[in-house]
Amino acid sequence: MHNWNDMIITKPFQRVIDVSSGDPHRAGMPPLSFARQVLAVCLYPKLLKESSFPVDVRQRAEKLLGACNGGSVGSYSASSCGIPQIQKSVAEFITKRDGGVASDPEDIIFSSGSQRTLKLVLHLLSSGQGPTQTGVLTPLPCPHTLPILLDEVGVKLVPYRLLEERGWTLELEELHRALKAARRHCEPRAIYISNPGNPTGHVQDLKTIEEVIRFAASERLVLLVEEVYQDSVFGQDKKFLSYKKVLFEMGASYSERVEMVSFHSISAGTMGECGLRGGYMEVINMDLLVKNFLTSMQGPCSPPVLPQLALEIMVNPPSPGDASYEVFTQKVETLTQNAQRACEFLNGVPGMSCQQAMGLYPCLHLPAEIIQEAKRSGLRADVLYCKKFLEEEGVCLGPGSENGHDDENYHIRLCISAPAAVLEDVLKRLQSFHLRIQDRHH
């Protein structure tokens, strides 16, 4: 018989804090009250008569229920693309965001998360083997789920490197280099863009976006643009510009022929509803048969209703003067303060440097001894660092090698979407651990 008490290992922490990815609720961040209240009323419409709910919550829930077949979230969507009224809401959001550049509701396709929508497009692009296999130009570092997804659908990852020394910028020269090298091994058919960058947080400027669009046009590449952190741009000198807006301001020679799919999600940014699994893609300049095929690839059923309602809330948050506006803005302020505080703190830790963003991606300057220890263990040094940090401090970080980083500049991935007190605790533990690592090997 085992004595289980003898097998218990005492740790210097009570619970594990996971800030390795953008899952704010796992890190302890409470959900947006407005979103959850509206969804609760939609799920149980008798709450429409409950006066304890703010009036804007009940009004929004009534509007959303009116968009559902039979006035119920238990009904199928009216079309295989989604609920038409919510497609219209998303299109209006995009039009307003882009300063009047029109968005057609028929170009909006809903699915269960941006990864799902991306997978549908990649399946469509995937073909061939060996030198004819589809390749997708992919930034390094990239979202940590992307390499697995590309491999799963049989598409070759064609890496182009973002320049850390210039703030993770995308350079046209590097795109040409990557494309030329790739054509010996595969057939590049698309370029994947993450803006704002995941995990780097870099926000692309107008010049860069125009260069990428011209590059895609001249090389006949489909633009796959992930913009899930568009509401999470921190810093006074930064402004999010959508690829759609820039594309249509470049004139008909581009706006009428460059094929583009942009992706957005309720999982990232201020909304942070990862578990609801909702996202959309806007399909630009695609043949009608292609759009129909993308819709049909979702299967015989329409997209889930509840995530669509959450998407409508995301694109139409409370406005100034609404009963829920003040509570809503508190979360936005918390995230802004978290980003600033975390970046300043980590830049003050010897052997670390990072840029301000929703997800931090600090560079680690590690002692040679820990790099050698990692090699002896058959691990990357960033993986060993994260493993030791988890064991000693009870905090789960993401190693940069998961994001495709394979050079000697080691990084960790840290999401700041957590309660301020939790983030402060994580930062102090990280500082203490990092200094211990430095001291042990000097």
pLDDT tens over the chain, length 442 residues? 556 555 567 787 889 999 998 889 998 889 999 999 999 999 999 999 999 999 999 999 999 999 999 999 999 988 888 899 999 999 999 999 999 999 999 999 998 888 888 999 999 999 999 999 999 999 999 999 999 999 999 999 999 999 988 889 999 999 999 999 999 999 999 999 999 999 998 999 999 999 999 999 999 999 999 999 999 887 657 899 999 999 999 999 999 999 999 999 999 888 989 999 999 999 999 988 888 888 776 655 688 999 999 999 999 999 999 999 998 888 888 888 888 899 899 999 998 988 767 678 999 999 899 999 999 999 999 999 999 999 999 999 999 999 987 777 899 999 888 999 999 999 999 999 999 988 776 6
Do residues 205 and 262 share a domain? yes
**58 lies in a domain?**
yes
**Could you give the dihedral angle defined by the CA atoms of residues 191, 196, 202 and 207, in that order, rounded to the nearest 10 degrees?**
60
Half-sphere exposure of 89 (CA within 13 A, CB side): 21
Look at residue 345 and tell me if it is in a domain: yes
Instruction: Please name the helix (run of DSSP H) or strand (run of DSSP E) that holds residue 427, with its range, or none.
Output: helix 420-440
Residues 143, 258, single domain; the answer is yes
Give the pLDDT confidence score for residue 329 in this predicted structure: 87
DSSP 44: S
Cα gap 295→279, rounded to integer Å? 14
Confidence at residue 4, expressed as pLDDT on a 0 to 100 scale: 56
The predicted structure's pLDDT at residue 300:
58
3-class SS at 67?
A: helix
Q: What is the residue type of 344?
A: E
**Does 288 lie in the same domain as 180?**
yes
- pLDDT value, residue 13: 84
Q: What is the CATH number of the domain that holds 92?
A: 3.40.640.10
Q: Is residue 338 part of a domain?
A: yes
Where is 411: in which H helix or E strand?
A: strand 410-415
Domain that residue 138 falls in: 75-315
- Residue 320 falls within a domain, yes or no? no
Q: Rounded to two decimals, what is the model's pTM?
A: 0.93
pLDDT (0 to 100) of residue 165: 87
Look at residue 228 in the predicted model and tell me its pLDDT. Answer: 94
pLDDT at 94: 98
SS3 at position 63: helix
Angle formed by the axes of helices 172-182 and 206-219, nearest 10°: 30
> Which among 101, 58, 62, 102 is positioned nearest to 85, based on CA atoms?
62
The dihedral sign for the CA sequence 356, 357, 363, 364: positive
Q: Quick check: is 186 in a domain?
A: yes
Looking at 315, 333, 366, which one is the last position of a domain? 315
Number of domains observed in the structure of the chain: 3
CA 407, CA 306: separation in Å to the nearest integer? 42
Considering the domain architecture, whether residues 50 and 89 belong to the same structural domain is answered as no
